[in-house]
Structure 1
Amino acid sequence: MTGPETFEGTVLVGREFDPVEGRVVVEDGTVTAVEAAATGSSDVILPAFVNAHTHIGDSIAKEAGGGLSLDELVAPPDGLKHRLLRDASHDETVEAMRRSLQFMAETGTAAHVEFREGDVDGVEAIGEAVADVPIESVVLGRGSIDAMEHPSSDGYGASGARDGDFDAARNATRRAGKLFAIHAGERDPDDINAAMDLDPDVLVHMVHPDPVHLDRLSDAEVPVVVCPRSNLVTGVGVAPLRELLDRTTVALGTDNVMLNSPSMFREMEFAAKLTDATAVEVLRMATVNGAEIADLDCGLIEEGRPGPVVVLDGDSDNLTGVRDPVRAVVRRAGASDVKRIVR
């Protein structure tokens, strides 16, 4: 148990992130008060991020595979990442993941949704990696159904409908009351209908939806996680964010650590500058939308809601003089502006 702590500045409140000059009181991990008041503080206080799609195991091979195609990089079973994962020792993989998780925690990420390679061993490895890191891992096992049924697994993360038959895994997650997520529409639209036929809880990427797929999304209200930096690096394009936002819940993920740092600041900036999504929409994608997809109770600053919250130094060389704090968080802020993570 900890006593109440008070933080002053511009507070981004609720789902609209209304900028309110005032203070936030946090006690034992819960926001107990949000008060409007003149404070004189230039700090910006926002909810911590939820990174809605990661492959943290790829931390063993950062920046490997330059110039390779998507399939050459990540397609199972013999894409570069899978070969490198097989060759890495257990201890090497755990330590590499721990370092990436620590970076995420230090840069404002409260939780992430992990597609965890390595079957049961992979699920157990990330449990080891995250044990001493202040971040929540929502783990979606891959491989056998045993990976999903492991006590530390929160569901199943399927590679894509063209890669195999996932009916059994989908049925098992449904029986267990766990999440089923699947990559779809990353390089072309050909696997989207088959993925949606599985009635997934989450679709990842959706770079190439046809109008019929957008209609299905709207009807089924299946959430989508987009990963713009990863899609650019692999040359598959940029998801039609406006069309997706107009039809369903959209969250933001950083995807493979092999290709990109797991920085939600960088991912937000890309999403905002590459598309016509508003700063409020992008910040929502990086916080409460990811939380809701993962069934987590975080991502908003409201009285009675759990934290954590991020305090940015509004007087940093980067942020001083900012006129629009939400745009500044989404398009300008970075790791060096983080003053405090309040958990």
Structure 2
Amino acid sequence: MSQVHLRASLALIGDDLRAVRDVCVTVDDDGVVESVEGWGSCPWDSAGGTWAALLPQPANAHVHSADGRFPEFGVDLGLHELVAPPDGLKYRLLSTLSPTETALDIWRTYRAAYELGVGLLVDFREGGGLGCLAAQRARSMVPDMDVLVLGTPGPSFPGWCQGLGLSSPLDYSEGVLRALTSQLRPSFTHVAEDPENRREGDLEVALRAGFTAIVHGTHLSRDDLQAIAERGVALVMCPRSNMWHGLRPPPVADAISLGVTLGLGSDNAAWNLPDPWGEAEEAMLIARSQGLRGAPAAVLEALMVGGYRAAGLEPRTVEEGRKLHAVLVDAYSTGILSAADTASAIIRRARAGLALRADGSRLAYLSKAGIY
């Protein structure tokens, strides 16, 4: 195996995602970034070119993967009818699948995420340890994408689970919750997705129990968000899911202005492709509608850095000395190279130009044809 060189007119470098023009990234035999230099150092047969932007692989920090077996089911139903355990439509549908079918359907979601350039997918798995086992079987077929499998109490739990993912902290006593969160890290739970759960104090229970991250937060106030920020608890927002289920938009602007660590997730694969780019665009539009004009840079950070940090992992950012995990995007045709605001352009346009992903020295051309 020999060195790999990638040439791009634009690259986002480091955890601060600083935009650098005209770069040549050299990757050594171990897949580690050896240098980031001017593109004059690139040989003629480098991957990429003047058309390209080199971007970190984004994180999708909240997915329910097996739902993808049932796309667009129950479009006339509300949130609780669709997903409330144990009798929501999705649970009844999932119960009809064999373990092999479940693993294959999870793999289909993972493959779709891989083709969208995703570097990390945080999967909430139903069905206890056996549900996590199905995800681990699927995960083995996408080795270049990190998958964090979070489980919920059930058969063989916590076997094969890499952390905790609960539908609601209100489903358990606080003693049980504290035992679970002390044993399983990271620990995520849905919080304040609807007004009923918020009125019952789900955030306070989650904070007392020591969860490392909460998901949705649709009905959190500024005071709630301040409390989250002060405790260092991450918030994963799923704006497309919230809108689809008839909920109000999440408080993106307040969360950004208060310095909350933000990630983005696509939620149920039945109703959303596992596409964090779409979540980022929706979050940016919501922030603008909520009066925050400086949102693009913060939303880009949530997409490419915050989701990893919510999961307790190092971001897959491009930097010398780190293994390369990146995507090459056609930034010429999509207008990114000539855009007045680079962060906004990447959020809104990169998905349409996804061309190549690089994982170490392995290069894979991306084709969204055939996804789902």
- What is the correspondence of 1:102-181 to structure 2 with a 5 Å cutoff? 102-133=111-142, 134-144=144-154, 146-148=156-158, 150=159, 152-165=160-173, 167-175=175-183, 178-181=185-188
Structure 1 CA distance for aligned equivalents of residues 69 and 296 of structure 2 = 33
Q: 1:292 aligns with which of 285, 306, 309?
A: 309
| SS of match in other structure, 1:270 | helix
Check the 8 A contact 2:222/2:254 in 1, yes or no: no
Distance across 2 between alignment mates of 1:33 and 1:166: 50
Cα separation, 2, equivalents of 1:51 and 1:267: 9
Amino acid in structure 2 at the alignment position of 1:340: L
Task: Give the distance between the partners of 2:273 and 2:192, measured in 1 at CA.
Answer: 23
TM-score (norm 2): 0.85
- What is the match of residue 6 of structure 2? 7
* C-alpha deviation, 1:146, in angstroms: 4.4
* CA distance in 1 between partners of 2:53 and 2:303 (Å): 16
Whether contact under 8 Å (1:29, 1:308) holds in the other structure is no
Q: Using the TM superposition, name which of 115-124 and 15-24 deviates more.
A: 15-24
Mapping for residues 1-343 of structure 1, pairs under 5 Å? 2-9=1-8, 10-21=10-21, 22-27=23-28, 28-37=30-39, 41-133=50-142, 134-144=144-154, 146-148=156-158, 150=159, 152-165=160-173, 167-175=175-183, 178-188=185-195, 189-190=198-199, 191-245=202-256, 246-275=258-287, 276=292, 278-316=295-333, 321-334=338-351, 336-343=352-359
Q: Distance in 1 between matches of 2:216 and 2:342?
A: 28
> Judging changes above 3 Å, is the alpha-carbon distance between structure 1 residues 215 and 324 closer, same or farther for their aligned structure 2 residues?
closer
Deviation at 1:224?
Answer: 0.6
Q: Does the 8 Å CA contact 1:272/1:331 hold for their aligned counterparts?
A: no
Q: Deviations over 1:93-147 (max 9, x none)?
A: 2111111111111111011111111111111101111211132210111123942
CA distance in 1, matches of 2:178, 2:300: 31
Alignment deviations for residues 59-102 of structure 1 (CA, whole Å, 9 cap, x no partner)? 11111110211101111000111111111222222111111111
Find the aligned partners of 2:172 and 2:74 in 1 and give their Cα distance.
Answer: 25
Q: How far did residue 214 of structure 1 move?
A: 2.4
What secondary structure is seen at the aligned counterpart in 2 of 1:203? strand
Amino acid at match of 2:254: E
* Cα RMSD after superposing both structures: 2.1
**SS in structure 2 opposite 1:287?**
helix
Query: Which letter does structure 2 place at the counterpart of 1:23?
Result: C
Question: 1:43 Cα shift?
Answer: 0.6
Equivalent pairs counted in the alignment come to 338
Q: CA deviation at 1:226?
A: 0.4
Amino acid in the other structure paired with 1:295: G
Stretch moving more, 68-77 or 130-139:
130-139
> 2-side partners of 1:267 and 1:29: how far apart?
30
Distance in 2 between residues matched to 1:165 and 1:29, nearest whole Å: 46
**5+ residue gaps in structure 2?**
43-48, 360-372
Q: CA deviation at 1:286?
A: 1.2
Q: Give the alignment's TM-score, normalised by structure 1.
A: 0.92
> 2: distance between equivalents of 1:68 and 1:166?
31
| 2:157 aligned counterpart, secondary structure | helix
Q: Deviations over 1:137-167 (max 9, x none)?
A: 101111239423x2x3211111112333363
CA distance in 2, matches of 1:298, 1:219: 22
3-state secondary structure, aligned to 2:119: strand
